[in-house]
Amino acid sequence: MQDKEITIYDLAEKLNISAATVSRGLKDHPAINKKTKKKIMDLAAELGYRSNKFASNLRKQKTHTIGVIVPRLNSLFMSSVISGIEKAVNTAGYNLIISQSFEKEAKEKTNATTMFNSRVDGLIVSLAADTRDFSHFDTFIKKNIPLIFFDRVAEDIQCTKVLIDNFKAGYQATAHLIEQGCKEILHVTGNITRNVYRDRFKGYKKALADAGIPYDPDLFITNELTEQEMQTAMADVLQRDKLPDGLFITNDSSAAFILTILKDAGVKVPEDMAVVGFNNDLISRVTEPAISTINYPGNEMGENIARILINHLDGEADLSFTSTVILNSELIIRASSQRKK
């Protein structure tokens, strides 16, 4: 440390007032004289005073920190959610700690522990692909630390959830493929114990049913969504006698990757197979053909999440804390699925 850190005592001494008054003045306490306040503020600015959060948190037993655990940060969707959260949180004077589970339950658990030990005032989570056990959230619930899930939610935990209507999105994507003349629609998705995948799958099945197309289990592939597994799964599909004529794939990166596999196999998109992805990541726009996809309001979702949490923390909206917020999503039609003019 170069310059010594300035404390409220230093300010108090120089102004010949008490530390208590300085403390109050700094946070605009109503009982303090305007002039005194101004003197305090000015001196603080001049001396480069910064409040010591540790002392303050220690005293107040509140950290003004919010934790976020997400599977990964490398999608447009996630970064817009985070950006939305950050915006709302910053303006409310809270800090953010972000960590990634890399789709692993084990990492999610240690992340949750770290968050707990950092005494976050609230926790925002989108679950890892392989999380089956939710006991790492028990400590939060027990201590009444508010918990919000978004996108990939834990359905058995009673708390606020913010997500899109995955059933509807799955339905729309599938209905669109049917409308384009597809009859054998392959659905490639993640593990359906996770709500997002299960609901999309339900929407897919309902759209088939509504169109009088029987559901064929051979046209349903679920895996960990890695390139490796996509490769294997598609190799298998492409060896079948009867190829599917439509693909509904649960995320754009996988859809883009599968497009390269189809290309290598000489399958024409959309003529032989029409393709719909999910997320509206940049990647869906640069492939040849561009991929039809479901667009989700990441930023809006982030801001919503943060606002709900902060209102709760600031004690303004205790009541509606265990609600579910559904945001709109939309189908964006591009060349990969467009067969009719």
Partner DNA sequence: GTGAAAGCGCTAACAT
Partner DNA sequence: ATGTTAGCGCTTTCAC
Binding mask 7-46 for a second copy (x = CB under 8 A): ----------------------------------------
Is residue 257 within 8 A of residue 228, CB to CB? The reply is no
Query: How far apart are the C-alpha atoms of 181 and 245, rounded to whole Å?
Result: 9
Q: Going by DSSP bridges, is the β-strand pair 293-295/330-332 parallel, antiparallel, or unpaired?
A: antiparallel
Using the CB atoms, write b or e for 247-283: b if 16+ within 10 Å: bbbbbbbbbbbbbebbeeeebebbeebbbbbbbbbeb
Query: How far apart are the C-alpha atoms of 189 and 224, rounded to whole Å?
Result: 8
Half-sphere CA count of 167, side-chain side, radius 13 A: 4
From 47-55, 87-95, 266-274, 302-310, span contacting DNA (CB under 7 A): 47-55
Closer to a second copy by Cβ: residue 137 or 167: 137
Q: 123 - beta bridge partners?
A: 67, 147
- Determine the distance from the C-alpha atom of residue 241 to the mean position of all C-alpha atoms in its chain, rounded to a whole number: 40
Q: What are phi and psi of 26, to 5 degrees?
A: -60, -30
Report if residue 97 touches a second copy, rule: CB under 8 A.
yes
DSSP per-residue codes, 150-186: ESS--TTS-SEEEEE-HHHHHHHHHHHHHHTT-SSEE
From 30-38, 173-181, 214-222, 249-257, span contacting a second copy (CB under 8 A): 249-257
Residue 151, binding choice from a second copy, DNA, none, Cβ under 5 to 8 Å by partner class:
none
Which amino acid belongs to residue 238?
L
Residue 31, binding choice from a second copy, DNA, none, Cβ under 5 to 8 Å by partner class:
DNA
The single residue among 6, 19, 41, 73 that binds a second copy, judged by CB under 8 A, is: 73
Report if residue 8 touches DNA, rule: CB under 7 A.
yes
Query: How far apart are the C-alpha atoms of 290 and 335, rounded to whole Å?
Result: 5
Residue 96: its H or E element: strand 95-100
The footprint of DNA on residues 57-116 (CB under 7 A) is: 58-61
The single residue among 79, 231, 299, 311 that binds a second copy, judged by CB under 8 A, is: 79
Residue 9, binding choice from DNA, a second copy, none, Cβ under 5 to 8 Å by partner class:
DNA
- Tell me the site size for DNA, rule CB under 7 A: 28
Quick one: which of 297, 307, 319 has its CA closest to 94?
A: 307
Quick one: which of 189, 165, 331 has its CA closest to 247?
A: 189
Closer to a second copy by Cβ: residue 63 or 131: 63
The single residue among 27, 42, 46, 74 that binds a second copy, judged by CB under 8 A, is: 74
Is residue 255 within 8 A of residue 75, CB to CB? The reply is no
Closer to a second copy by Cβ: residue 1 or 31: 1
Residue 332, binding choice from DNA, a second copy, none, Cβ under 5 to 8 Å by partner class:
none
Q: Residue 97 Cβ, how far from DNA at the closest point, in Å?
A: 19
Q: Residue 74 Cβ, how far from a second copy at the closest point, in Å?
A: 4
The footprint of DNA on residues 254-283 (CB under 7 A) is: none
Where on the chain is the footprint of a second copy (CB under 8 A)?
A: 1-3, 48, 50-55, 57-58, 61, 63, 72-76, 78-79, 82-83, 86, 90, 95-100, 102, 110, 114, 116-119, 139, 142-144, 253, 256-257, 259-260, 263, 282-283, 285-288, 290
Contacting positions for DNA (CB under 7 A)? 5, 7-9, 16-21, 23-24, 26-27, 30-33, 36, 49, 51-52, 55-56, 58-61
